[in-house]
Amino acid sequence: MFRDITIGLYFPGNTIIHRLDPRIKIIIIMMFITSLFFITSFPPYILILAFILFVIYLSKVPLKHVLKGLKPLILIIVVTFLINAFLTKGEELFSIGPLTVTKEGLRQAVFMALRLIFLITGTSLLTLTTSPISLTDGIEKLLSPFKRIGVPAHELAMMMTIALRFIPTLLEETDKIMKAQMARGADFESGNILNRAKNLVPLLVPLFINAFRRADELAIAMEARCYRGGENRTRLNELKLDRKDILAISLSTLYFGFIISTRYI
């Protein structure tokens, strides 16, 4: 019952978007986010939307799949919308009880909601088309210049890799322990909040014990194979930039540069 949560993240494929160097994809997404925050009017949103649709088209990820990523965040989007709609001062449009909706508020609400939606779909395109492993590889490589000022790039990336690796395992285990306790008459579904929290003890204790046991075993297994952190470590698949990466980053720089510049013209 838990499996579908994480598996939905990466949508395997072999399109040009999937094959782009993860570092390039991360940088492009950062440019995307930056430009999104520079936008102050509606027209540039068309360019943003065009970018998203273009990437979705190239990556062959079904649109339905991309939109599914919005689902868990719908509440946040709605709350943002409502807060902006009700709390912005200006020319009154109509009012519901003590709350008034202004023209400026409505504009602001739509604007913010769109910004959130673009932000989420844009970034989810990164995780949809990049496997977690190459994503962490990319992060490690991008952070490595900062090693000199003490950023533990390799360790951070390794931590992320391990965490990602164990999410499905932990979910599976949660499912199994829950079932085992339900077989002994445990009830995780009814009762008030206090009771429910108390009923979680038979689930959480074994879960933590098993997680620590796993961590211990993994540490020993890594040590047994002489793992010593990132120093002098080479990798099986070195990341290499090629023509399509250079092309992608150049075009994106121009594109988002233009979007940012629209703010000042």
Query: Which residues of this protein are in contact with other proteins, per CB under 8 A?
Result: 3-4, 7, 176-177, 179-187, 201-202, 205-206, 209-210
In the complex with other proteins, the residue whose CB is nearer, 5 or 151, is 5
Q: What is the DSSP letter of 184?
A: T
Backbone φ and ψ for 145, nearest 5 degrees, come out as -60, -25
- Decide whether 19 or 176 has the Cβ nearer to other proteins: 176
d(CA 217, CA 215): 5
Q: First vs last Cα of the chain: how many Å apart?
A: 52
Closest distance of CB 177 from other proteins, Å: 5
Q: How far is the CB of 77 from other proteins (least distance, A)?
A: 25
Query: Which letter does DSSP use for residue 236 in this model?
Result: S
Whole-number minimum distance, CB 31 to other proteins, in Å?
Answer: 32
Q: Do 174 and 203 touch, CB atoms closer than 8 A? A: yes
Question: Nearest distance from residue 2's CB to other proteins, in Å?
Answer: 11
User: Least distance (Å) from other proteins to the CB of residue 133?
Assistant: 19
**Cβ 202 to other proteins, closest distance in Å?**
5
Choice between 165 and 179, CB closer to other proteins: 179
Cβ closer to other proteins: 189 or 238?
Answer: 189
φ/ψ of residue 41, rounded to 5: -135, 170
Angle between helices 103-129 and 74-87 (to 10 degrees): 160
Contact between residue 95 and residue 107 where contact means Cβ atoms under 8 Å apart: no
Question: With respect to other proteins, which residue has the nearer C-beta, 4 or 238?
Answer: 4
Only one residue has tokens 């508020």, namely 105
Closest CB to other proteins among 143 and 203? Answer: 203
1 contact partners, CB below 8 Å, separation of at least 6? 175
